[in-house]
Amino acid sequence: MNAPDEGAPQVEPLDTQARIVLRGWLGDAARLGIDPELLETLQDAYEKYLDQVLATEPDQREDPTPTLTAIGMALGEHLRRNSDADWRIVTDDQGRDLALASPDESSILFPVDPVAGHWAVQQREWVSGFVAAALDSFGEPQ
């Protein structure tokens, strides 16, 4: 019998606490005008927030993490609804977090990461292309 790969992420089903946290983030996303069924609402919320932050003096800007996390979780929920991926708790060398995983756990996506990555370079109009590529990496909804 082979020992588990110690460098591989550990994937677990959501527990009650994780479900509560996810519901909270999706509620925050709804307050931003995001409907996970409608991809354009994700793009619009991201663009609007980017415009708002860029229009604010740098020393007056608030930490964008909560807003970016809400957008990322809504992005993840959109992917979950349109693929065979499902929410999981994933522990890797970066820590423990909510992520999407394919049924065989061969594809794992932390949905806040692409939002934060695109935010860091102030990239616009990236959401639909990213979602198309992500959906290609996951299977069809069951």
The reply to whether 75 falls in a domain is: yes
Boundaries of domain holding 111: 10-135
Task: Report how many helices (DSSP H) and strands (DSSP E) the chain contains, helices first.
Answer: 5, 4
The reply to whether 27 falls in a domain is: yes
| Residues 23-81: tens digit of each pLDDT | 999 999 999 999 999 999 999 999 999 999 999 999 999 999 999 999 999 999 999 99
The reply to whether 90 falls in a domain is: yes
The number of domains in the chain is 1
* pTM of the complete model: 0.93
The reply to whether 68 falls in a domain is: yes
| Residues 117-141: tens digit of each pLDDT | 999 999 999 999 999 999 999 988 8
Using H for helix, E for strand and C for coil, what is the string for 60-128?
HCCCCHHHHHHHHHHHHHHHHHCCCCEEEEEEECCEEEEEEECCCCCCEECCHHHHHHHHHCCCCCCHH
The reply to whether 3 falls in a domain is: no
**Residue 6: pLDDT band by 50, 70, 90 thresholds?**
low
* CATH for 26: 1.20.120
The reply to whether 2 falls in a domain is: no
